[in-house]
Homo-oligomer: A and B are copies of this chain.
Amino acid sequence: MAGSELTNVKAPRVKAARRLTKRAFREQDRKFLAEGPQAVREALKLDGVVVELFTTAEAELRHGDLITEATLKGLPVHRASGEVMAELSQTVTPQGLVAVCGLVHTPLEEAVTERARLVAVLAHVRDPGNAGTVMRTADAAGADSVVFTDASVDPYNGKCVRASAGSLFHLPVVIGSPVGQAVQRLKDSGLRVLAADGSGKHTLDDVELSGPTAWVFGNEAWGLPEEVLALADDVVRVPIYGQAESLNLATAAAVCLYASARAQRAG
């Protein structure tokens, strides 16, 4: 444990971490916050990602393994008061563990290559919870990478990191890629680019999914813009058999990604 318990919410170390809750400062400092035992555990598995760790005395007892691991890696571990933790936490019930991490994203050219079989692209996705859930689902479905276009939410947003349940640290994530550039790279790498949209002529049941595929998912409320639909090789909708108007974005993404994962493995 580095020094005594931090109790002053205005201490420079606390303020330096606290400002990472804002996107502009994350970009400037090239760091972000990962909160809770699950995210911290996954972050610690990667070398050189965690910069420092804040813990409450209570969390230190409950997650002794993580504290030990961080200490053995020579990382600064700061014990913080409940008040300081509340300042760093972005959840209603803080779990007492926050890691300051270096950015983990990958350049498009490394994340998308000819070896890729399944890629999820988030174009204009604004809800951080949805975006994080799609990362988690893409990871579960065995996707090779996730691409956030420049009009999408920041994957380092606290809510997005949390919803990803550690998956942000599991697979290559690209950020800020112009959608045209991302689609071109995917096509050049031999992937078929499918836009998931309610306007699609084909349904998920009609398309052949055994080949390398990239799925492009759009905004929660208004789907994908015309220009993105035009870039795709095909526009595909998840069939609606009942009276629901549409599916939640993260739900639709799960159905599409798992349909691909299944078709690719059945072949």
Contacts and interface: CB of A to CB of B under 8 A. Distances in A.
B242 A143 contact: yes
Given A205-B265, A265-B205, A136 B244 contact: yes
A34 to B, nearest CB: 15
Contact of A241 (B38, B141, B252, B255): B141
A239 to B, nearest CB: 8
Copies in the complex: 2
A96 to B, nearest CB: 17
Interface in A216-267: 238-248, 250-252, 254-255, 258-259, 261-262, 265-266
Interface in A161-184: 163, 165-167, 170-171
A255 to B, nearest CB: 5
A203 to B, nearest CB: 10
Contact of A242 (B142, B243, B246, B254): B142
A139 interface: yes
Contacts of A142: 241-242
Query: By CB atoms of chain B within 10 A, which of A170, A252, A262 has the most?
Result: A262
Contacts of A157: none
Contact of A243 (B139, B245, B262): B139
A192 B114 CA distance: 43
Interface residues of A, number: 40
A207 interface: no
A140 interface: yes
Given A140-B238, A205-B265, A170 B244 contact: yes
Interface in A128-165: 133, 136-143, 163, 165
Contacts of A143: 242
A120 B207 CA distance: 27
A246 B141 CA distance: 10
A181 to B, nearest CB: 25
A65 B244 CA distance: 20
Given A140-B244, A251-B251, 4 more contacts: A139-B243, A167-B244, A171-B243, A238-B258
26 contacts: A38-B245, A133-B251, A136-B248, A137-B248, A139-B242, A139-B243, A140-B238, A140-B241, A140-B242, A140-B246, A141-B242, A142-B241, A165-B244, A165-B246, A167-B243, A167-B244, A170-B243, A205-B262, A239-B261, A241-B265, A247-B254, A250-B250, A252-B254, A254-B255, A258-B258, A258-B259
